[in-house]
Chain A
Amino acid sequence: MNDHPPRWAELALSLLLKAGDRESIPGDLLEKYREEVLPRSGWWRSQLWYARQLGSLFWHLLPSAAFGVVLGLVLSAAVVAINVVLPLLPEAASPLRQAVEGISEAAGWLGVLALWGVAGFFAWRRHGTLAAALKAGALVSLLSMGMVMLTFALVDNLFLDLVSRQPEKLWGFQHSEYHSMRAYINHGLLRGLFFALPVMAAVGAALGGLGGLAARFTRRPPAAAQR
């Protein structure tokens, strides 16, 4: 029987760990995998165990990145629901469609911006420095918005017929110099990648900083920062 953990998980582990931990932590996991988990649980369950450990390391050692990925997944699901699922629903479901669109317009962005601040709040409580709060806000905004843009790229290209019917896209295309809707949409996405994403990261950093300041006034810093 193969006594190696999944190669993809070992590679992912080496990418997420700091240089000083790249030997010791995978070594500990490999030791436990070979001596305890594999003999007790068999190959399939052992593979799952290793993947779970990878997830726990990601969640505990890089909480801001994990938060950004989770937020990105939720927002991406909302993008798919609003742009693909809701337009395909029958006419009878139009009240549902209006309710979802209303909520996403009213609370969606404010909620997302608040969550970037929350990331800064908790980063300050963990590390006790404003730099950590700024970095957390920027990282969460970059990851979540990057994933949203990637989702838009997939949705817009895979469901071009459906997306082309959106009034704002039609208006924009008609007032542009592009010869095809696909080119118009993809150039818009590229502009977003190079201009909007850095702006979002800066906004995220600012909100993370505000969250960090809020944490500073609600609780004293951890011992590490007091020294």
Chain B
Amino acid sequence: MSDVLGSFEQTVLMALVRLRADAYGRSVLKEVETRLAREIPAGAVYATLERLEGKRLISSRLAPGTPVRGGRARRYYALEGAGVQALNESKAAMDALWQGLAWPLGGKA
């Protein structure tokens, strides 16, 4: 499973892990921007959420909106079991790649 997760997909999935019940579109975008320390186009996050939902790694549900968003509904996202497994496998694969190497790397870049 881990070989089908791109690095941005992992970033978005980890945002859902951190946000838990508060993971809706804007909060996910904000969390991803905070972690990556740069502005991210909204389209990139929504397209990734759509793709992850297509892979059944996450699910979503609509909830009532607030006045500041003109009463428009919020879509909340939640990690599915397959998503948790994919993230675990991605982490394990990355750890295996680093095994035996001292970090940070020394020498010339």
Interface set of A (CB-CB < 8 Å, partner B): 21, 23-32, 34-35, 52-53, 55-61, 126, 222-224, 227
Contact = CB atoms under 8 A, between A and B. Distances in A.
Interface string B37-72: 000011110110011001110000010011011101
B93 interface: no
B94 interface: no
A21 B75 CA distance: 8
A58 B26 contact: no
B15 interface: no
B105 interface: no
Contacts of A28: 24-26, 29, 42, 69, 74
Contacts of B29: 28, 32
Contacts of A224: 51, 54-56
B43 A30 contact: no
A2 to B, nearest CB: 14
17 contacts: A24-B24, A24-B73, A25-B25, A27-B25, A27-B74, A28-B25, A28-B74, A31-B68, A53-B41, A53-B42, A56-B42, A56-B44, A60-B46, A61-B47, A223-B55, A224-B51, A224-B55
A223 B68 contact: no
B70 A27 contact: yes
B43 A59 contact: yes
A55 B41 CA distance: 9
A126 B47 CA distance: 11
Interface in B16-43: 24-26, 29-30, 41-43
A27 B47 contact: no
Nearest to A10: B70
Contacts of B62: 23-24
B54 A35 contact: no
